[in-house]
Structure 1
Amino acid sequence: MKSHTKKELNKMKTELEKHQEDIASLKRDVRELVKHRERVGGNFSQIEQRLDTTERQLRQKKAKLENLETETETALNDTQRLLSLYKNELSHLNTTASELEDKVEAQFTATKTELEARLKKIQKTSETLSTKLNEQKAEVDEFKGKADGKFRNVDERLNATLKQQKSDTNTLKSDIAGIAHRLKSAEEKVAVQQALKPEVDRLRAEVNAKVAFSASIIESKGVFTGPKTAGTSNILIFNRVFTNVGNAYNSKTGVFTAPLKGVYQFSFMTFGYNSHTSGALLVKNGHYQVFTWEFKGPDASDTTSNTVILKLNVGDCINIILWEGGKIHASVFSGFLVFPTS
């Protein structure tokens, strides 16, 4: 590109010089014509105008040529700078490529050396393994010969053992059938026992159930022993407890509460003086059941008693109350479970 530009520039310089020579030649011709006009007295105004026009055009071309020469010189300078940069970059790339080639060559040489060493090691290992494999193959062949004889003996013994096991298995099957029959009978018995267990538990609880109490009362400021009026409803509270098996009697309220359904026996005794009617009533859930009664008389004191057997449900209540107008000095109240009922 640089050489081509130089050629163009030289060509334009040559043309410029040629034009300058033409101009000089024309000027000489003009002077000659002027002289000739003066001699001949002719009119050369038109020729002068043409010469002036031609000179002006040549000047314009010269100015353009100078501008073109300047621009060409600037382009040449830029081109030279770019070529310099390209040369430097190319030199750097060549250096880098050379270094990379050296590194690759060195790495390739090292890898080749290492692979050759590994290959030799593998070949040596392969030869060793091949030797050991041959030795082991001979040992296996020897062992196989010995094992064949042993296996034949083992097969004979296994066949004999298998026959014995078949016989034992048949015997065992027969025994298992008998055991299964007995197990089924046992399971049926267990099922019956399980069905009867609730009833047995209930009966055992009833058999083991123990309910019995006995308590007394003596006239004192702390308890009610009469006389009973129409406005009083206090029951007799037997506060001195002798026995209370099952804790069914409450010594603070004087009420016995049945803990089990069953048949119970109750008895009570009263002692009083002849100043008041004596005696008492046994009450079940608020209803009169049995009673004792002794009116005022010539005797200094009177004793009454009574016994009753009642069928109670769980929660039924039994207590003792006085007759209206009656009064006692001492009394005993007892009861117990005869037997539970379903």
Structure 2
Amino acid sequence: MERIESELTKRIHAVEKKTSKIDELKGLGTKLQELKSHIESEFHNTKKQLEKSQDDIAGLKREVQKLVKHREIVGGNLTEIEQRLDTTERQLREKKAKLENLETETETAFSDTQKLLNLYKSELSNLNTTAQELEVKVEARLDSSKAELEAKLKKIQTNSEAFSTKLKEQKDEVEKFKGEADKKFMNVNEQLQTQKTTLTKQKADTDTLRDDVAGITNRLTSAEKKADEQKTLEPEVDKLKAAVNTKVAFSATIIESKDVFTGPKTATTSSTLIFNKVFTNIGNAYNSKTGVFTAPVKGVYHFSFMTFGYNSHTSGGILVKNGHYQVSTWEFTGPDISDTTSNTVILELNVTDCINIILWEGGKIHTGVFSGFLVYPTL
């Protein structure tokens, strides 16, 4: 009985030692996790390797948790064995068998844990190696950056020295320019004093001239008003001059021809008489080819016409303005051999108004005269 208790105590101590090792492994796992987080923050390019190590650590934690559970189970079984040692040796033997099985399982678990620990150490070694490589790279990059910064600093120093030299030269030039400017300023000051005296005299003369200019300005204002009035009236005066200078007068007859009793006529308007022999056409307002007079200016016009025909047909004519009858002459057939008719009219015409003579329907003439002139223009 004492031997069994002693053996059980030894086994419990062994389990506790293993549990302590497991706790140490857990502490080591925590430290490795912190190291992993630190390495992740500083070296982003080792992220994939750390993620793999994290998975291994998680597996190791699970194994450790299993061992802890085994320890709890074993502790419970030992408590139960101690309670039953007093009641039956058979139960102790059964517990012994169970403890032996538990020892086997614990050794197996410890072996697996040892393997995981070795694997984790290997990963840690790889991480250390990677960290060292990164440290070497960082140091190399820092050395390169330091060399570049030193080169740039040297270049800046060189440029600064050149700039200082140039600045000194410019400062000397400024001092020289300042001296010359002081001399010129003194000369200008003397000239200003002279000009001030002159300006005082000129101001007095200017006041006198200002009074004279004010009087001249008043006279010019009055003259400008008169000039503006004249400019306003100039267009009207020009119109009046143009109208007064406009001269219009014409007189034409019908040349005797084979068209006896009908007079010359156009192809489209057979009734229009064309007085084709022109005596006078001042202003060229009468068209001897169409027989139409066109008013060149607005005004009052005097027109007269005469026709000569034989008694075999009605004779006479109608004076037309823009196609509308105005005045006419008419002579019916009778015992007389020939008849002469005439008429006169004064009309007010606008520019482009047309005047012409037409025959009565069925009428015939032998010859005739058509005359007109501008009495006076109107606005």
TM-score when normalising by structure 2: 0.59
Q: Pick the aligned partner of 1:312 from 336, 342, 348.
A: 348
Quick check: 1:266–1:309 contact (8 Å CA) kept in 2?
Answer: yes
Letter aligned with residue 237 of structure 1? L
Matched, 1:173 2:183: no
Quick check: 1:5–1:72 contact (8 Å CA) kept in 2?
Answer: no
CA distance in structure 2 between the partners assigned to 1:188 and 1:331 by the alignment: 58
Give the deviation of 1:78 after TM superposition.
0.7
Quick check: 1:267–1:335 contact (8 Å CA) kept in 2?
Answer: yes
Over residues 212-265 of structure 1, what are the superposed CA-to-partner deviations in whole Å (9 max), with x where a residue is unaligned? Answer: 333333464498359xxxxxx975512415255556546677554545443323
CA distance in structure 1 between the partners assigned to 2:166 and 2:308 by the alignment: 124
CA distance in structure 2 between the partners assigned to 1:60 and 1:316 by the alignment: 145
CA distance in structure 1 between the partners assigned to 2:315 and 2:204 by the alignment: 94
Label 1:215 to 1:7 Cα distance change in 2 as closer, same or farther (>3 A).
same
Quick check: 1:235–1:321 contact (8 Å CA) kept in 2?
Answer: yes
Quick check: 2:327–2:345 contact (8 Å CA) kept in 1?
Answer: no
Matched, 1:95 2:133: yes
Over residues 58-85 of structure 1, what are the superposed CA-to-partner deviations in whole Å (9 max), with x where a residue is unaligned? Answer: 1111112101110111011011111111
Letter aligned with residue 95 of structure 2? Q
Quick check: 1:9–1:69 contact (8 Å CA) kept in 2?
Answer: no
* Identity between Structure 1 and Structure 2 (%): 38
Q: Pick the aligned partner of 1:108 from 146, 153, 156.
A: 146
- The gaps in structure 2 that reach 5 residues or longer are 1-13, 22-86
Partner of 1:80 in structure 2?
118
Partner of 2:252 in structure 1?
215
Quick check: 2:261–2:364 contact (8 Å CA) kept in 1?
Answer: no
Matched, 1:147 2:184: yes
SS at match of 2:247: coil
CA distance in structure 2 between the partners assigned to 1:158 and 1:52 by the alignment: 140
Over residues 71-128 of structure 1, what are the superposed CA-to-partner deviations in whole Å (9 max), with x where a residue is unaligned? Answer: 1110110111111111121122123213423442453366346536744763575477
Letter aligned with residue 163 of structure 1? T
Partner of 1:199 in structure 2?
236
TM-score when normalising by structure 1: 0.65
Label 1:245 to 1:87 Cα distance change in 2 as closer, same or farther (>3 A).
farther
Give the deviation of 1:195 after TM superposition.
3.1
In angstroms, what is the RMSD of aligned CA positions? 4.4
Deviates more, 1:128-137 or 1:70-79: 128-137
Deviates more, 1:188-197 or 1:276-285: 276-285
Quick check: 2:285–2:295 contact (8 Å CA) kept in 1?
Answer: yes
Matched, 1:330 2:367: yes
Quick check: 2:260–2:365 contact (8 Å CA) kept in 1?
Answer: no
CA distance in structure 1 between the partners assigned to 2:294 and 2:20 by the alignment: 147
SS at match of 2:375: strand
CA distance in structure 2 between the partners assigned to 1:220 and 1:5 by the alignment: 162
CA distance in structure 2 between the partners assigned to 1:333 and 1:91 by the alignment: 133
Partner of 2:55 in structure 1?
none
Label 1:168 to 1:83 Cα distance change in 2 as closer, same or farther (>3 A).
farther
Quick check: 2:307–2:315 contact (8 Å CA) kept in 1?
Answer: yes
Give the deviation of 1:288 after TM superposition.
3.0
Give the deviation of 1:196 after TM superposition.
1.9
Over residues 249-299 of structure 1, what are the superposed CA-to-partner deviations in whole Å (9 max), with x where a residue is unaligned? Answer: 46677554545443323233333346557555656642436x48698567x
CA distance in structure 1 between the partners assigned to 2:238 and 2:260 by the alignment: 44
Matched, 1:65 2:103: yes
Partner of 2:325 in structure 1?
286
CA distance in structure 1 between the partners assigned to 2:210 and 2:91 by the alignment: 143
Matched, 1:224 2:262: yes
Letter aligned with residue 376 of structure 2? F
SS at match of 1:210: coil
CA distance in structure 1 between the partners assigned to 2:258 and 2:273 by the alignment: 12
Give the deviation of 1:162 after TM superposition.
1.7
Partner of 1:161 in structure 2?
198
SS at match of 1:286: strand
Quick check: 1:265–1:308 contact (8 Å CA) kept in 2?
Answer: yes
Letter aligned with residue 288 of structure 1? V
Partner of 1:263 in structure 2?
300
Quick check: 1:258–1:312 contact (8 Å CA) kept in 2?
Answer: no
Give the deviation of 1:211 after TM superposition.
3.0
CA distance in structure 1 between the partners assigned to 2:318 and 2:170 by the alignment: 116
Partner of 2:30 in structure 1?
none
Label 1:339 to 1:309 Cα distance change in 2 as closer, same or farther (>3 A).
farther
- The gaps in structure 1 that reach 5 residues or longer are 12-48, 227-232
Label 1:67 to 1:172 Cα distance change in 2 as closer, same or farther (>3 A).
farther
SS at match of 2:346: strand
Deviates more, 1:322-331 or 1:59-68: 322-331
Aligned length, in residue pairs: 292
